[in-house]
Amino acid sequence: MATLQERFKRITTFIFDVDGVMTDGSVNALESGEQFRTFNIRDGYAIERAVHSGYRVAVLSAGSQVGVRKRLEFLKIKDIFMGGPTEQKIYAYLGYLNRDQINEAEVLYMGDDIPDFQVLSRPNLLSTCPADAADEIKAVCDYVSPVPGGRGAVRDVIEQVMKAQGKWLSWLTDVEPFKLHNER
């Protein structure tokens, strides 16, 4: 059986749930009926680095809030699957893999609650969850982040993968140092 580090090295695709993973699971309900979420900026930075480095990043969520979709689009996530029935996440997941011919052994999925159970239980993907995931989810995951959902768990798994592959800070060596006008 491959070690966790070896499995991190194989990842080409990240798939994330939203509520409880990219957010802390809180829903703020306004009098207008709008429900908004709060996202972690460091998670967003890691997602941008992953996309820029050529990883596939997808989101699979039963929610369908316009504001959430706009945030995901701002992060340059192209594969956004939102609004399906919670108990049918498995079908959206399998459809995505089939559509893009993605090798399941190269997928890292992060979920936090019972609707993610069928996906996280698949033996070939790298199943992950935040520290505050449901106990049933923690029991089936290959990696439980030490960080709670919405507080950096997404960044944790992206960093783990990119560091294992030598890509996390590799872009820094490509950046020309900024020189002040009076430096020559």
Q: Which domains does the chain have, with CATH numbers?
A: 4-170 (3.40.50.1000)
The answer to the question of whether 112 is labelled as a binding residue is yes
The SS3 call for residue 133 is coil
The whole-number pLDDT of residue 179 equals 61
The whole-number pLDDT of residue 35 equals 82
**Whole-model pTM?**
0.90
- Whether pLDDT at 176 is above 90: no
The answer to the question of whether 17 is labelled as a binding residue is yes
- Whether pLDDT at 174 is above 70: no
pLDDT tens digit sequence for 91-102: 999 999 999 999
The answer to the question of whether 132 is labelled as a binding residue is no
Mean of all residue pLDDT scores within the chain = 91
The whole-number pLDDT of residue 36 equals 84
pLDDT tens digit sequence for 17-70: 999 999 998 888 888 888 888 899 999 999 999 999 999 999 999 888 888 999
The whole-number pLDDT of residue 62 equals 86
CA triplet 81, 18, 109: central angle to 5 degrees?
75
Listed in order, strand segments (DSSP E) in 5-106 are 13-16, 28-29, 35-36, 56-61, 79-82
C-alpha neighbours within 13 Å on the C-beta side of residue 41 = 0
